[in-house]
Amino acid sequence: MEYVDRIPSSAEPPIEVSYPSVDEELVGFDDHTRNIIEKLRGRRSVSDVISIVGMAGIGKTALARKIYSDVSIIGHFDVRAWCSVGQTYNVRKLFVEILKQITGDWFVNVDNPYDKVRKNLFGKRYLIVLDDICEYEAWDDLTRCFPSVETGSRIMVTTRNVELTRYMSWPSDPYLLPFLRDEESWELLQKKVFQGESCPLELRSVGPLVAKKSNGLPLLIIIIAGILSRKEREASTWLEVAYDIGSHALEEGSMKMIQSSYDLLPDYLKPCLLYMGLFPKGYEIRVSDLLKWWIAEEFVPNIGALELEETSMSCLSDLVSRNMVVVSKTRVNGEMKCCIILDQVREFCLTKIKEEKFMQHVGKRLCMYIHDGMTSDFKERESFGISQASLAFIAHPKFSISDNKNLFPLLNNLRLIRVLDLLNFYLDDSWAAAFQLLTHLRYLAIFVKVFHIKWVSHLVHLQTLGVRSSNIMISPAIWKLEKLRHVDINEFPIRWADGERVKFEESTDIVLHNLKTLGTCSMSVADMTPKFWNKFPNLEQLRLHIDELGDVPYYSDSRLMTLEMFPSRLRNLSLSETFLTDEIVSSIAKLQHLETLKLSEIYFTGKKDWDLSDKTFERLKILKLHRVFMTHWYCSDESFPELEYLVIKSCSKLEEIPLSFADVPTLRLIKVTDCSKSVGDSALSIKQDMEDLCNELFQVHILKND
């Protein structure tokens, strides 16, 4: 059981998770962590730079991430930002990334991010991490916008270049990260290979020898562990690996081990890994997006009755278990949220791709890294011996196009492209015409002023559609997109004039059988009918904004009481900006498969009470409440029989959490952010009751106001 003292809402306190994140399995770093945290939190009011120096693979980035995520650091600084620099970098993009993190606005669109960064940092105690900074020019370019006022701000740097730290000319000396000692190397190897099990007796003599051959380099140990975990647990096998490591120089040995790991991958996993190598160094990849991209590129095989999403998650889990990809963030229930490809693994992937002129054959298709200077290469595609008819591209223009005015000519050369993620670019009004020829798209995410569904209705292979726009229009043209699996539109309006609703529902017999996620829908109760939801029979995740109760001309109050307002197969429901009535709650409680319920900006009519005493949410595991404007909350010990995680944020009027939650045996965490002291106290009372019941898994996290 753990109680974390009050910390700000940006923190993600460590809890028991299914996948350990990259910093949770570090060995031999405890002293380094404490020392650097002391430097960062020191009393010196002037700005300072803390530099972590060491060779590639020694664990600089992993240590920096561990420190960056420490609750004492999160609580000490007003704002934090993490910036991966590397040898080649784009100053403007780096400042936009910093601006996103310090403002919380992930759709920043500014002409002068440098000035914006300075203004948003001024007067605040900030922590900026510059990971893998290599050049003097990069230091000068990036630090010119960081105010040097006496707020106790800090810049933390990781670098291989000790001379660069002297150029920085700050009070603190560089922190030189040493190699792991032999016993620490063996401890890390055991952690990664045996995953908490004891080392077999027959390996206890040879194991330390294998670890010693790594020369104390954590990355090499992690890669070796990924290989050994797939081999027989025999001393002779381990000795072969030890000999193989010892026959190469340190850096060459790392690449040799990565090659060995790569060779052991099933054929279908190899393109998945190489695809990840095309992301920028240190880039945190959102797992939900990555899985959709893999599916769109047809990397993921069909396995029995498993859904493609389940198979793609299994592929990622396999890469994580082989230590080629690491988990950087987890969700409250321990599922992977973000992941990172190890730097040396990324370099290996890029080398593999470059060996074939930026190409990797995947059947008749090509995996190609697209950048601004490569448009001419497309005109010479015949030199690769491949006809235009069989050529398609896997590209990441999201990260490589520096000027969106060059985007449309580039797309003209990429007519067979399948994945296009342009949420970072605000496209002008000509986007719809430019996309007419991209008929092979399976994943499309765009940021535009005006969007009409009919402008993409010709994209009949589309599986994922993401849109950010201030003017969105939906029409029956959506039924043409029969292969849609995921729709993520910031406001999906279902508001029709008289007669249009009937036309929308009855004009066609087409049903979107493949649709799994839909949001954010904006509709009235009158539109929430089984007849409408039956158009999406396999919908599992829904984000919804109910327009108050709307006009319900043909439903009596008694009809509302029994109305099935939601799709019956829902597993995840998010409601926002809604007046929560007893009828709506009753309808939610009827959902037999619902596991996650998120309520945000929720209002009540009359008394600000939420009484669930006679309601049961049978399978609900996660309940998240954000700005739910209730004063009193009542529920019984049977209201949430399987609840595991309760997250309450910014519920300013709530007086306390019902003490009946202490009688929920499955409850593992209550997390309270930006609520009254009495709400925190009630969480601690529940914790005390849990302790009396010997519930050792239960935790309480109470976080500071924003």
Instruction: Give the model's pLDDT for residue 394.
Output: 52
Asked if residue 645 has pLDDT above 80, the reply is yes
Asked if residue 355 has pLDDT above 50, the reply is yes
For 166-227, list the strands marked E by DSSP. Answer: 175-176
Residues, the chain, total? 706
The predicted model scores a pTM of: 0.71
Instruction: Give the model's pLDDT for residue 627.
Output: 94
Asked if residue 502 has pLDDT above 50, the reply is no
Cβ of 284: how many Cβ atoms within 10 Å?
14
Instruction: Give the model's pLDDT for residue 505.
Output: 55
More confident residue, 269 or 21: 269
> Do residues 693 and 12 make contact, with C-beta atoms less than 8 angstroms apart?
no
Sign of CA dihedral 569, 574, 577, 582: positive
Asked if residue 365 has pLDDT above 70, the reply is no
Whole-number Å distance between alpha carbons of 680 and 692? 19
- Over residues 334-344, mean pLDDT: 86
Asked whether the bond before 605 is cis by omega within 30 degrees of 0, the reply is no
Model confidence over 548-569: pLDDT tens digits?
554 444 444 444 444 578 998 9
Cβ of 640: how many Cβ atoms within 10 Å?
27
User: Percentage helix, strand, coil, to 5, in the chain?
Assistant: 35, 20, 45
Instruction: Give the model's pLDDT for residue 305.
Output: 61
Asked if residue 316 has pLDDT above 80, the reply is yes
Model confidence over 575-623: pLDDT tens digits?
998 888 888 999 999 999 999 999 999 998 878 899 999 999 999 999 9
In degrees rounded to 5, what are phi and psi of residue 7? -135, 165
Among 82-96, 503-517, 628-642, the range of highest mean pLDDT: 628-642
Q: What is the DSSP letter of 21?
A: B
Among 427-441, 511-525, 617-631, the range of highest mean pLDDT: 617-631
Whole-number Å distance between alpha carbons of 155 and 131? 10
* CB-count exposure of residue 480 (10 Å: 0-12, 13-18, 19+): middle
> Do residues 682 and 703 make contact, with C-beta atoms less than 8 angstroms apart?
no
- Over residues 215-229, mean pLDDT: 81
Strand order in the sheet with 365-368: 359-362, 365-368, 393-394
Model confidence over 126-174: pLDDT tens digits?
999 999 888 888 888 888 888 876 778 899 999 887 778 878 766 667 8
Helix (H, G, I), strand (E, B) or coil at 375: helix
Instruction: Give the model's pLDDT for residue 169.
Output: 64
Instruction: Give the model's pLDDT for residue 600.
Output: 94
Helix (H, G, I), strand (E, B) or coil at 574: strand
Instruction: Give the model's pLDDT for residue 84.
Output: 86
Model confidence over 390-434: pLDDT tens digits?
344 455 544 444 444 456 666 676 677 888 888 877 788 888 888
Asked if residue 280 has pLDDT above 90, the reply is no
- Over residues 40-57, mean pLDDT: 80
Mean pLDDT over all residues of the chain? 79
Q: What is the DSSP letter of 405?
A: G
- Over residues 173-200, mean pLDDT: 84
Asked if residue 9 has pLDDT above 60, the reply is no
Which residues contact residue 196 at a Cβ distance below 8 angstroms, ignoring those fewer than 6 apart?
A: none
% of residues, the chain, pLDDT over 90: 25
Under the banding of pLDDT at 50, 70 and 90, the label for residue 385 is very low
Least confident of 104-108, 217-221, 381-385, 573-577: 381-385
Instruction: Give the model's pLDDT for residue 115.
Output: 85
Which tokens belong to 316? 């990622």
More confident residue, 307 or 489: 489
β-strand 622-628 against 596-603: which pairing, if any? Answer: parallel
* CB-count exposure of residue 618 (10 Å: 0-12, 13-18, 19+): middle
Instruction: Give the model's pLDDT for residue 554.
Output: 40
Instruction: Give the model's pLDDT for residue 379.
Output: 40
Least confident of 261-270, 500-509, 561-570: 500-509
In the chain, count H helices and then E strands.
25, 28
More confident residue, 212 or 246: 212
Asked whether the bond before 375 is cis by omega within 30 degrees of 0, the reply is no
Least confident of 142-151, 157-166, 348-357, 474-483: 348-357
β-strand 443-448 against 393-394: which pairing, if any? Answer: unpaired
Which tokens belong to 173? 């000396």
Sign of CA dihedral 606, 607, 608, 613: negative
> Do residues 158 and 58 make contact, with C-beta atoms less than 8 angstroms apart?
no
Listing DSSP states for 306-352 in one string gives --HHHHHHHHHHHHHHTTSEEEEEE-TTS-EEEEEE-HHHHHHHHHH
More confident residue, 516 or 525: 516
Instruction: Give the model's pLDDT for residue 413.
Output: 65
Model confidence over 237-246: pLDDT tens digits?
888 877 776 6
β-strand 325-330 against 336-341: which pairing, if any? Answer: antiparallel
Which tokens belong to 84? 């991966």
Under the banding of pLDDT at 50, 70 and 90, the label for residue 107 is low
Among 75-79, 215-219, 407-411, 592-596, the range of highest mean pLDDT: 592-596
Instruction: Give the model's pLDDT for residue 287.
Output: 94
> Do residues 144 and 118 make contact, with C-beta atoms less than 8 angstroms apart?
no
Whole-number Å distance between alpha carbons of 422 and 448? 10
> Do residues 420 and 444 make contact, with C-beta atoms less than 8 angstroms apart?
yes
Asked if residue 1 has pLDDT above 70, the reply is no
Instruction: Give the model's pLDDT for residue 137.
Output: 85
Which tokens belong to 196? 């908490």
